[in-house]
């Protein structure tokens, strides 16, 4: 497997936030595309607190869920012309931060397509991005590109900081200075709207070209294509201007759901909680606060949580054959203990949407999911490995962070119709992923697509670059 390196933070005390955004059509599993099976059975039984136990009686999909279970594809977002498929465009990057992405330990990314037989490391499109800064203090191997627009950074603060040594397989796109404190190789081009500086003992080799404004310097940098001076402008890569209102979406399902059809109590995952079996349908819970709750998902499921998700003993989500879940949490998320979210071999089948401001994961969490938390600071206190993608306001990794990006999440078709008024490509999706003249339309060039996507000029659609 080729080594891939990322960024490094200038000072350990620096604060980094992260949020993810994206747009365009991609070729992978769409949100909600696994077919619902209205006749599939799963365990169901009365447990304490109204818990449905997957290990007892048989349950069938509720009749009220017939329309939901008879279809597949994205779930409409009330009050908008969008659906959950439009959220998928935020996962163009393996990790994306509205503010900054900071890793005190090592940062490693690679990519795979869970719909193919290839495993992690099969492609080099696992890019990372932040609207402010990206940095690591230890080694970084990024199987893709690094993007940081330098938005709102104090004067003199690098947008990209590379420490510890490593490799970035493709480009570095920096809206400010670049600081290099280790030995680094950039396999593509480097764009810097500022100076490129090397710390004592640091070195930077760029296979392609270094682009920076006239008057800025890149002393000591080796570039196969030389240094070209001219304007450099890096737009914020993560779509954070108009986040999905998750709390409103949850509230809309408080009285419109399939709870009664399977005898599900809104307090089913309060203490003492056990295993709740969910056949195909849409369900609502007041909160999830049990010690070690478990969800046995047996079909196409949307679960709406009105409060916080707090699992001191960890949360387990298991998926039956062909099952998938969209889990919407209006409040904060705190996973402690042994947590298992979804299937690491098929992360696109679990989508977690967090409306709150905090998201905490224990070190021993095993996550195979795509996480959208536009208002939250995602904090990881020690080494962590996940499969899928993450989009958050802030990303703070105190230990080593490894992410295996499942590109299939981008296969979801968005619901924004052609001709929709737009300001940027982030407002568009589906067959018309770019914004021209204030209207969503097809792309004609790579510049029409939201980073890091490129344009297929024959179809007018945006996709991940094919390596």
220: left (phi over 0), alpha (psi -120 to 50) or beta: left
Residue 6 pLDDT class (50, 70, 90 cuts): very low
416 vs 41, higher pLDDT: 416
Q: Which residue has the tokens 């402690």?
A: 336
Residue 343 pLDDT class (50, 70, 90 cuts): confident
Share of the chain above pLDDT 90, in %: 52
The pLDDT value given to residue 65: 54
Residue 257 pLDDT class (50, 70, 90 cuts): very high
pLDDT tens for 25-79 read: 333 333 333 333 333 333 333 333 333 333 223 333 343 455 788 777 778 877 7
The pLDDT value given to residue 430: 79
Give one DSSP letter per residue of 8-57, joined into a string.
--S-TT----------S--SSPPTT-SPP-TT--EEEEE-GGGPEEEEEE
- Pick from 4-13, 156-165, 320-329: least confident: 4-13
Considering the chain, what is the average pLDDT of its residues?
82
Can you tell me the distance from the alpha carbon of 312 to that of 305, in angstroms, rounded to the nearest whole number?
A: 17
Can you tell me the distance from the alpha carbon of 119 to that of 268, in angstroms, rounded to the nearest whole number?
A: 37
> The pTM is what?
0.83
The pLDDT value given to residue 66: 56
The pLDDT value given to residue 319: 92
pLDDT tens for 168-182 read: 999 999 999 999 999
CA distances from 220 to 180, 203, 206, 398, 411 (A): 11, 7, 11, 31, 42
Beta bridge partners of 415: none
């Amino acid at each position: 497997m080729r080594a891939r390196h990322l960024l490094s933070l200038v000072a350990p005390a620096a604060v980094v936030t992260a949020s993810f955004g994206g747009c365009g059509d991609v070729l992978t599993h769409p949100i909600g595309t696994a077919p619902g099976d209205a006749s599939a059975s799963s365990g169901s039984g009365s447990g304490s607190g109204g818990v449905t136990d997957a290990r007892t009686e048989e349950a069938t999909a509720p009749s009220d869920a017939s329309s939901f279970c008879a279809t597949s594809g994205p779930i409409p977002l009330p009050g908008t012309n969008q659906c959950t498929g439009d959220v998928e465009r935020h996962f163009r990057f393996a990790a994306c931060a509205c503010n900054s992405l900071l890793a005190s330990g090592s940062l490693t990314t690679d990519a795979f397509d869970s719909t193919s037989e290839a495993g992690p490391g099969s492609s080099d499109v696992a890019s990372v991005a932040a609207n402010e800064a990206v940095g690591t203090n230890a080694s970084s191997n990024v199987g893709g590109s690094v993007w940081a627009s330098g938005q709102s950074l104090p004067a003199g603060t690098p947008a990209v900081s590379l420490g510890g040594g490593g490799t970035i397989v493709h480009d570095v796109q920096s809206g400010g200075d670049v600081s290099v404190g280790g030995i680094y190789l950039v396999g593509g081009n480097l764009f810097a709207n500022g100076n490129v500086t090397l710390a004592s003992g640091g070195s930077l080799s760029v296979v392609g070209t270094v682009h920076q404004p006239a008057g800025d310097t890149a002393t000591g940098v080796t570039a196969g294509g030389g240094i070209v001076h001219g304007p450099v402008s890096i737009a914020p890569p993560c779509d954070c201007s108009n986040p999905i209102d998750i709390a409103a979406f949850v509230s809309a399902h408080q009285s419109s759901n399939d709870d009664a059809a399977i005898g599900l109590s809104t307090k089913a995952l309060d203490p003492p909680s056990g295993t709740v079996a969910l056949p195909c349908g849409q369900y609502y819970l007041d909160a999830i606060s049990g010690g070690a709750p478990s969800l046995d998902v047996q079909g196409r499921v949307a679960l709406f949580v009105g409060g916080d998700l707090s699992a001191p003993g960890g949360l387990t989500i298991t998926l039956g054959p062909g099952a998938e879940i969209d889990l919407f949490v209006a409040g904060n998320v705190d996973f402690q203990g042994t947590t298992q979210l979804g299937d690491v071999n098929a992360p696109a089948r679990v989508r977690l949407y967090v409306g709150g401001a905090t998201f905490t994961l224990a070190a021993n969490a095993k996550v195979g999911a795509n996480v959208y938390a536009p208002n939250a600071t995602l904090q990881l206190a020690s080494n962590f490995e996940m499969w899928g993608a993450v989009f958050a306001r802030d990303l703070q990794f105190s230990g080593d962070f490894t992410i295996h990006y499942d590109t299939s999440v981008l296969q979801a078709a968005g619901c924004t119709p052609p001709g929709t008024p737009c300001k940027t490509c982030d407002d568009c999706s589906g067959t018309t992923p770019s914004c021209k003249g204030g209207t969503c339309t097809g792309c004609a060039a790579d510049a029409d697509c939201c980073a890091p996507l490129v344009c297929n000029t024959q179809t007018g659609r945006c996709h991940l670059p094919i390596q």
